[in-house]
Amino acid sequence: MDWLQLFFLHPVSLYQGAAFPFALLFNYLCTMDSFSTPARYLFLLAGGGALAWAAMGSFAVLVLIPALCAGVLISSLGPRDVHRWAFFFQMSWQTLCHLGLHYTEYYLQERPSMRFCITLSSLMLLTQRVTSLSLDLCEGKVKAEARGIRGRSSVLEHLWKTLPYFSYLLFFPALLGGSLCSFQRFQARVQGSSSLGPRRSVWALTRMGLQILGLECLKVVLRKVMGAGADLTDCRQLQCIRVTWSTAALFKLTYYSCWILDDALLHAAGFGPEFGQSPAGEGYIPDADIWTLETTHRISLFTRKWNQSTAGWLRRLIFQHGRAWPLLQTFAFSAWWHGLHPGQVFGFLCWALMVEADYLIHTFANLSIRSWPMQLLYRTVTWAHTQLIIAYIMLAVEVRSLSSLWLLCNSYNSVFPMVYCVLLFLLAKRKHKLT
């Protein structure tokens, strides 16, 4: 494996890397007074269109059409109706595209086009921005720029006022990846000046590059340790636990690398943490908190920190509005948003049960365990158990075939979530008796 393959192991990384010079150029131009606010919106929008065409080819229309429709809905409907209609349209469009993937994979038994997979990933991110903006309008956090068209003479004026919406939905630093950026933060960044000095920017980007290089090197080492052909079809009994953990570790390292690269692109364009907070007080939320993810002994904390900008979006969109079983509703919607593959449905529902069990187990343990040696032992055991359960869930979500999911469920790995399910039943029954 050469160094180019080592870095660009994920196909999206190639296009994200190609966008870096344009992100730096945008950040540099923002230091000039002659680079007006409308020109900045147009630069980000044009960059998004160009990047979509380069990465997705003709499939780019599957992203451009819903972005255009969402922009029209957002600029035309009132605050009370905008979120409901934007959510319905965006999720309907995304579901139809995911059904196309299901048709290719399960009915035709063909490998889907990589460009189509990139398109679906970008479409999922577009759904985040559309619903985040529609919620902001519904909750009054963002003031609507325009409402309807009164005459032919106002068409251009209407389009000009909605330019920030279209630019936000398609701005190129977040088109293929990256933390969810709120519209308030996006608008404050575009209307403000560049927040990074050359030395500070170079140091931050160098640090991120070294982190990515270190993670990719760890992946190479882990592959060599695992050996060729190590999967659930070849393992036996306890060996399957090692295979599951190591395979999930490869997935996590890949996610960490991609998240850091995505954050680096946002940073290069000036949308990173150094820009500060939006007027509404919403700061930058990075997706990768590697230290917490790898050291926590609580599944609930892992869930909040895993892809944490998406976790926050799901909490705001579903959990906070759920009247009955909000946790289950949130994970069920997450499975829908990801595409409703069989492994995803099973994995996310299992994840919901594990989080619910985690709350009861740790509440009971905090009341029962007093001595520090027992607390240390408890944290060590629950850390290992958490990592193994997360590995189990991750493989369930990532597998695409029912046969692979069946192998996972029939392996010794199922013991770990089953233990939490039994504890959930016992502690829930005990809690019910006490109340």
Question: Catalytic residue numbers?
Answer: 307, 338
Question: 24-41 burial by CB neighbour count: b if 16+ within 10 A, else e?
Answer: bebbeebeeeebeeeebb
DSSP 172-185: GGGTSS-----HHH
Residues 6+ apart with CB under 8 A from 64: 49, 52, 170
Provide the phi-psi class of 303: left if phi over 0, else alpha when psi is between -120 and 50, else beta: alpha
Query: What is the C-alpha to C-alpha distance for residues 259 and 263, in angstroms, rounded to an integer?
Result: 6
Query: What is the C-alpha to C-alpha distance for residues 319 and 339, in angstroms, rounded to an integer?
Result: 19
Residues 6+ apart with CB under 8 A from 384: none
CB 135 within 8 A of CB 317: yes
CB 120 within 8 A of CB 101: yes
**Closest listed residue to residue 246, CA positions, set 344, 382, 351, 391:** 391
Query: What is the C-alpha to C-alpha distance for residues 250 and 245, in angstroms, rounded to an integer?
Result: 9
∠ Cα 422 425 426 (to 5°): 85
CA-based torsion, 310, 316, 321, 324: positive or negative: positive
Query: What is the C-alpha to C-alpha distance for residues 223 and 246, in angstroms, rounded to an integer?
Result: 9
HSE of 420 in the Cβ direction (CA atoms, 13 Å)?
A: 28
CA-based torsion, 137, 140, 145, 151: positive or negative: positive
Question: Alpha-carbon dihedral of residues 331, 333, 339, 341, nearest 10 degrees?
Answer: 50
CA-based torsion, 116, 121, 122, 123: positive or negative: positive
Please report where in the chains the tokens 């190639």 appear, as a residue: 14
Query: What is the C-alpha to C-alpha distance for residues 302 and 386, in angstroms, rounded to an integer?
Result: 9
Distances (CA, A) of 18 to 10, 22, 253: 14, 8, 22
